Structure 1
Amino acid sequence: MATEHNQDAQDLQNEQAEQQTQAETEQAEVTVEDLQANIQKLEENLKLEKARTANAVYEAQKSVERIQRESEKHKDTVLEKFAKELVESVDNLERAIQAATEETPVVEGVRLTLKSLLTTLEKFGVVEVDTTNGFNADLHQAVGIDPNAQANQIGTVLQKGYTLNGRLLRPAMVMVGQ
């Protein structure tokens, strides 16, 4: 009976060992499947985060470009306002030279100042509008008719015009032949 009882106990231990081994195998299989599912889920999350990062970098680059464009536009606006004010000084210096009745050292100083101012303006892109090649409505403002000028030709320049980096700063006020 003791042998039978030992045999039953041994059979019971073997059966429990088999069940434990089978449970471990099933647990190992489940764990591998779970790990594969987790890996796939993590890969999808990684792709999503990479896409978000790429989008954030793209948005940052676009913001930098937009800020640079706005900065350039602001700089151009400020330069344009400043140049318009300086052009008024050029007009005043030219009027002073025209009003002078005799050549004095003061008049010569005004001429040199005008020349220096025009040179500085040209360095920064301010150029006088051409009035020798006929009337151009984009660059000239006709304010009257000059009876001595040919048709569509500029007779008298009342006020010089200027461009700033190729853009019209102030049109030349002219009288045109009919």
Structure 2
Amino acid sequence: MKKIFLLLLTAYLLTGCAVVTSENIIGSAAVQLSPEAWNGIWRNEDTVLQLKVVDADKGLVNIAWFEDKDNELQPDSIAVQISKGEKWEYLTLVTGSLYNDLELEKYCWGRIEKEGERILFWLPNPERFERAVQSKTLKGNVIKIKKEKYPSTHVKLTGSAQEIIKQVESGGADYFLWDTPLTFIRID
């Protein structure tokens, strides 16, 4: 599989090829963004990203990067929305290559925190969400996928964003992969 489809796919690959999606954008309201604080070039040890706020009031950001495809550098991008929960903020992927490459129908998401010139991003813990769906703590389906290049498990949350936020924020820290955040530092 490719080196990185951006922050979401990389972390999903680190979790044993499982993915957690939601039928709804996670958050109760969009975060108002400051273009001055978000626009620019951000990097981690694997990739360099260009962020651009496209609608500050709706929390919409375009993220672009280059991928090595067939021995050539090719541009790629996604659009994300940053929304508020009760205590935390969430990033939801609204369009982009992750959906094309994995044929996902709904929204990939995770928890995001911006601290000055650093962005931290935590992905949902697929095993924990699978248990929550199986025990009916959260509404959803667990889909086992057997195709060779696709995730082996897809946890598809079907409850409202508010139900998910309430459970995640009050249900304990094990809903996220806290030990493996993706960290990006602003370099321009």
- TM-score bin (small chain): under 0.3
TM-score w.r.t. structure 2 length? Answer: 0.21
Task: Please report the TM-score for the alignment, with normalisation by the length of structure 1.
Answer: 0.22
Structure with more of its chain in strand, by fraction: 2
The structure with more radius of gyration: 1
Which is helix-richer, 1 or 2?
A: 1
Name which structure has the greater RCO, CA cutoff 8 Å, separation 6+. Answer: 2
